[in-house]
Amino acid sequence: MFPSISFLVLSFLYTSISATNNTTASTCAALEASLPEDVFLPESNTYNASISSYPFIQLRLHPTCLIRPNSTADVVTAVGILKGSRTKFAVRGGGHNANRGFNNIEDGVTIDMRSLNGVEVESGVVKVGAGAIWQEVYDVVEKYNVTVMGGRIGVVGVAGFLTGGGISFFSPELGWSCDYVVNFEVVLANSTVVNANATSNPDLFAALKGGQNNFGIITRFDLKSFPVTPLWGGRIAFAPTADTALLEGFTQFKLGEYDPYAAGWVTNRYNGTSRSYAPTSILWYTKPDLKPGALEHMTNVTPQVMNGMTTAYPSAFARNASMVVKTSNLNTIWATTTFHISPTIIHSIHSKWKSVIPSLCESYAYANIASELTFQSLAPPPKDGAAVNSLGFDATSHPEKDLVFLQIIFYFSDSAAFPGLNNALKDFITMFDEIADGEGVGHDFVYLNFAAAFQDPLQAYGKVDFSGLARTARRYDPWGLFQRQLVGGFKVSKNDHGHGNGNETFGQGPWEHS
């Protein structure tokens, strides 16, 4: 069961820790004294198991100590100590975000939330601990014959996915996953536990749906559920010669009549070691009796070398999609951009990638590089009268119909290749945006969950939504704990770690209120 905490204040309880002479080691000692069952040092098995469990090599940093809170009260205690110490810290949910330093820290404190992974179903509401992954959620809720707007890859964490927006199996019909959160339980910088929902702290409620970790540490998500039914879907592997036809199929899928039951993506992968291409689709249709619907534009493409389309429940599809992530054991970096569909834009972008990627991989042959270029659709916004999110789309707009976003990924074995490949990511995004702008189909949106550290997804929501995020952060965290000390994530202000994205700056006092 979840701890029952509705309003708990421990403000300034640990201010005896001197901000001027404190070190990270003494902060860890203070944490260990107050949370002896939750704090782990580098020599412990729990610490080392946590570090090795990150799916991508670049995330396996080494904090001075690790906290594994077992309750919301434990998070409150940790926040109080960290605020008094000014020690840098990171928060891990599932640990799937590929940006180094976003969910772990070197020589600081990492709060590993994965012990807060409970899942309960009460009167149609699914209460999920912030450390859960989606596989844990699906495996519980399907026993009650319901499901939720969760991730399509089971090992992805609930917290990062939802606070970045979230695209689900059901998103073409139902919208962003974050819009199916009915309540957030949040530990604020002053150690107060609050609920954020449509009637209590509604500005925080909206900000958390797309604003990531700028406001507090979420300890529980309450999710709307709906009856579960099987999906039809799976993976199709195509012969290398089918790449143009597959992209044309996706183009026609986007240009044709909108199908709210059709979800998924198309990818072309280049293996730099074998110098080979592998086009694939991963698709789902949420009304199996009506399959394939608009997916026929892609499922009919030939030649195919493997067709894994089948009927199953979301838990099975999420589990299967996790297998590659679990076994990758590679460095992985990615970036994203968005554009309007046209008859030529996807082909133009793919041709540019395909013309550059072989020589790039050859330049870093020692790193055994593979690269993927993936195209998929955005979700519809909440409609008039629904609780708003912060993603920047008007209720009358239809991004799900005419927008496409891409993800470009590098997988590589040798960490020495990171600087060069990170620069290559920047160059690719610049090239893709120039192609889209040249065709008059560019768009500013940057999907946060696929954004590289050098991108500005919060700014890309638009001036109104970004300003709202900044105001909300100032209101709920006036001293900037989650700007100055929580070093990972995309920030509404600049902090001295350099991950900020906004125009706000911090001195040693509270935010300047506008």
pLDDT for res 17: 37
pLDDT for res 236: 98
The residue type of 28 is: C
Q: Which two tokens stand for residue 188?
A: 């604020």
H-run or E-run covering 360: helix 345-363
pTM of the model: 0.92
Residue spans per domain, the chain = 1-227+461-514, 231-312+328-445
* Average pLDDT of the segment spanning 478-494: 92
Which residue is it, tokens 């082909």? 347
Judged against a pLDDT cut of 50, whether residue 496 lies above it is answered with no
Alpha helix (H) ranges present in 364-480? 399-402, 418-438, 457-460, 463-476
Q: Give the model confidence (pLDDT) of 8-38 as tens digits.
A: 333 333 333 334 335 899 999 999 999 999 9
Looking at every residue in the chain, the average pLDDT score rounds to 92
Three-state DSSP at 207 gives helix
CB environment 101-123: b (16+ within 10 A), e (fewer): bbbbbeebbbbbbbebbbbebee
Q: Which two tokens stand for residue 464?
A: 């109104």
The residue type of 379 is: A
Residues 6+ apart with CB under 8 A from 109: 24, 27, 28, 31, 63, 64, 65, 66, 67, 82, 87, 88, 89, 90
More confident of the two residues 259 and 86? 259
pLDDT for res 326: 65
Our separate counts of H helices and E strands in the chain read 16, 22
pLDDT for res 22: 54
Give Rg (Cα) of the chain. 22
Confidence of residue 324 (pLDDT cuts 50, 70, 90): confident
Q: Which CATH class is domain 231-312+328-445?
A: alpha beta
Task: Read off the DSSP letter of residue 458.
Answer: H
Strands 89-92 and 109-112: parallel
Domain 1-227+461-514, CATH:
3.30.465.10
Give the C-alpha separation, 489 to 481, whole Å: 13
Give the C-alpha separation, 457 to 450, whole Å: 9
pLDDT for res 7: 36
Give the C-alpha separation, 440 to 165, whole Å: 26
Q: Give the model confidence (pLDDT) of 50-70 as tens digits.
A: 999 999 999 999 999 999 999
498 dihedral zone (left: phi>0; alpha: psi -120 to 50; beta):
left
pLDDT for res 184: 98
pLDDT for res 376: 98
* Average pLDDT of the segment spanning 339-364: 98
pLDDT for res 146: 98
More confident of the two residues 503 and 358? 358
Q: Which two tokens stand for residue 474?
A: 């100032």
Which phi and psi angles does 252 have, rounded to 5°?
Answer: -70, -35
Instruction: Specify whether the CB–CB gap between 254 and 261 falls below 8 A.
Output: no
Q: Which two tokens stand for residue 350?
A: 């793919």
Give the C-alpha separation, 128 to 134, whole Å: 10
Judged against a pLDDT cut of 80, whether residue 211 lies above it is answered with yes
Residues 6+ apart with CB under 8 A from 437: none
pLDDT for res 108: 96
Q: How far is CA 133 from the centre of its chain?
A: 12
